[in-house]
Amino acid sequence: MSSTRAFDKVFTKIDELKPEFIGMLSKAIAIPAVSSDESLRPRVVEKAHFLADHLKKLGFADIQLKELGTQPPPVSDPNLQLPPIVLARYGNDPAKKNVLVYGHYDVQPAKLEDGWDSEPFELVVDEKKQVLRARGSSDDTGPLTGWLHVVQAHQAAGVELPVNLITCFEGMEESGSLGLEELIGAEKDKYFKGVDAVCISDNYWLGTRKPVLTYGLRGCNYYQVTIEGPGADLHSGMFGGIIAEPMIDLVQVMSTLVDSQGKILIEGVDAMVAKETEKEQELYKTIDFSVEELNAASGSETALYTKKEDILKHRWRYPSLSIHGVEGAFYSQGAKTVIPAKVIGKFSIRTVPDIDSEKLTQIVVDHCHAAFKKLNSPNRCKAELIHDGNYWVSDPFNAQFQAAAKATKDVYGVEPDYTREGGSIPITLTFEEQLKTSVLLLPMGRGDDGAHSINEKLDISNFVNGMKLMAAYLHYYAESPEK
C-alpha cells in the first residue's frame, strides 16, 4: 500500500474523530496552566500528569516526568518547583526514523475581566464562526494535543505510524523554558539519542489564507527595571510633592527605551543587526501578505508601515522593543491615591541575527542605570535580565521541509510560503545544536489567532487540517532518503 493511500485512511479517521478530539482538547484547556503565576503552579503540574495519563492510554512507553528542580529567582517562593518535562516514546523500530515532537502545555495568563467574551479556560466551540475559543487553543495546547490525536487516528485507521515518535512537552515555555536547555544537554545521549529530526508546532501562518513553513525566529530578551524608595506605600495627600516617587522615576526611565514609531532608542542595538542581502530581499516579493491582514489581526488600523516588505522585515529581521507592564502599581478600577513604594517595569527586546544576548544585556542595563542617574533621584534603581532565548534560522530546503511542503500541498492544495516569524521559541536552537539535527516549524494556527491576547482562537478547519498535515509530514519524511 502506498503511503498516500495509508495516510488518506488516517485523514478519514481524523474527520470521524473530530468531536472526540475537541472533547479531549476541552479537558486539557480546562486546566489553567499559567506558568508565570506562582499560585497556579500546582495546576501546571496537574496538566503534565493529565498528558502523561493520555499518553499511557494511547500506548506510549517509557513515559517519564522529568523533574527540573527549584525555579531560580526572581520568585516569591524560594522553594517553587519547576513543572516537569513530559517524555514518552511510541515505537522503537530500528528501521524507522526517530522524530521528536516538541510542545508546551503552559499558557499565558487570562481572566474574563481582561475583555474575553467567555471564560478563557472553558473551550467554546463557536459553530457560527467555526472557531475554537479558549486560552491555549492555538498556543499551544491545540497543536500539542494534535500530535496525540494523529497517533490515535493511525490506530483507528489500522495504519502503522511510519516513524518512531518521541515527545518532549514542557511547562515553562511562556516563562523562558527554564530548565529545558539543561535537560536536553543531559539527555542528548540518553533519552534523545538517535533523534533524526525535531518538529515543533508552536507558531502560526503569516496571515489567514495561506499555509506556511517557518525557517526562522526572532529571539527574546526579557528585562525588568525595579525602582524603590519609601519603606511602604504612601498617601499622596500626605506625601505627594515632598518625597521622590518610584513610579514617576520609572516612567521617566521607560520613556528612554523606545519611541512611538517603534524605534529603539538604546544606543548600540541597531549596530549589531546583520545587513540585509539581495537574496533575502527577493524572498519578500512573492509572500502572500497585506497590511489589511495585519489590521485584521490587530483589530485596528494602527500599523506603522503600509508596504508588505516593510511590515515583514520589521516583524522578522529587525529587533523590536515592547513595554509590557508595571508590577506594584495601582491598576484596578476606581481612584486609589496611593504612592507605590516599589514598582517594577517589564519590557522585552526581540532579537535577530547578529545580536549577541550578553552584549545586548550589558548595554540595556547600562542605559537604564544611566537614564536613572540623570534624574538625580534618592530612590534606588536596578535593571536586570529575567530570561533570554536566542534567534534561530534554518535551511528551508532540507528533507524535513520538503516533506512538509509535500504534505501541505496534499492537505491544502497549495505550495506553502517559506517564512520567518517575529515570535520566539527559545529552545529551537538548543535542539538543533545539542541533538545535531534539523528543526522544522510546522504551524497549525493562523496569524489572527490572538495567541497572547483576549479571545484566543483556533479555526476548526486548522485544527482538523493541522492534524492531517502532521500525519502526512510523518509519512513523507519517513520515505525521504535523507535525514
User: Measuring CA to CA, how many Å separate 34 from each of 37, 46, 188, 386?
Assistant: 6, 11, 28, 17
Nearest to 221 by CA among 35, 369, 391, 105: 391
pLDDT of 446-469, one tens digit each?
A: 989 999 999 999 999 999 999 999
DSSP of 100-129 = EEEEE--B----GGGT-SS-TTS-EEETTT
Residue 139 counted as an annotated binding residue: yes
The pLDDT, as a whole number, for residue 451 is: 92
Query: 158 exposed, middle or buried (CB, 10 Å; 0-12, 13-18, 19+)?
Result: exposed
- In CATH terms, the superfamily for domain 4-215+391-477 is Zn peptidases (3.40.630.10)
**What is the rounded distance in angstroms from the CA atom of residue 85 to the CA atom of residue 170?**
5
- Cell numbers representing residue 295 in the block: 489590521
Spell out the alpha helix ranges (H) of 114-196.
Answer: 141-157, 180-187
Size of the chain, expressed as the number of residues it contains: 483
Residue 452 counted as an annotated binding residue: yes
| Beta carbons of 120 and 135 less than 8 angstroms apart | yes
Q: Tell me the helices (H) and strands (E) count for the chain, helix number first.
A: 14, 18
Residue 270 counted as an annotated binding residue: no
SS (H, E, C) 407-474: HHHHHHCCCCEEEEECCCCCCHHHHHHHHCCEEEECCCECCCCCCCCCCCEEEHHHHHHHHHHHHHHH
| Domain locations in the chain as residue ranges | 4-215+391-477, 218-273+316-387
**What is the rounded distance in angstroms from the CA atom of residue 236 to the CA atom of residue 60?**
61
Query: 12 exposed, middle or buried (CB, 10 Å; 0-12, 13-18, 19+)?
Result: middle
Residue 424 counted as an annotated binding residue: yes
Cα atoms found within 13 Å of the Cα of residue 69, Cβ hemisphere only: 7
Could you list the active site residues? 106, 173
Residue 388 counted as an annotated binding residue: no
**What is the rounded distance in angstroms from the CA atom of residue 86 to the CA atom of residue 102?**
10
**What is the rounded distance in angstroms from the CA atom of residue 206 to the CA atom of residue 197?**
24
Q: Which residues pair with 169 in a beta bridge?
A: 86, 103
Residue 113 counted as an annotated binding residue: no
- Residue ranges of the chain with per-residue pLDDT less than 70: 1-4, 483
Q: Look up the CATH number of domain 218-273+316-387.
A: 3.30.70.360
Spell out the alpha helix ranges (H) of 227-379.
Answer: 236-239, 246-254, 278-283, 291-298, 308-316, 357-373
Report helix, strand or coil for 212. Answer: strand
Residue 356 counted as an annotated binding residue: no
**What is the rounded distance in angstroms from the CA atom of residue 410 to the CA atom of residue 420?**
22
User: Measuring CA to CA, how many Å separate 113 from each of 26, 118, 188, 288, 335?
Assistant: 21, 10, 44, 36, 18
The structure's pTM equals: 0.80
Q: Which residues pair with 221 in a beta bridge?
A: 349, 388
The pLDDT, as a whole number, for residue 483 is: 67
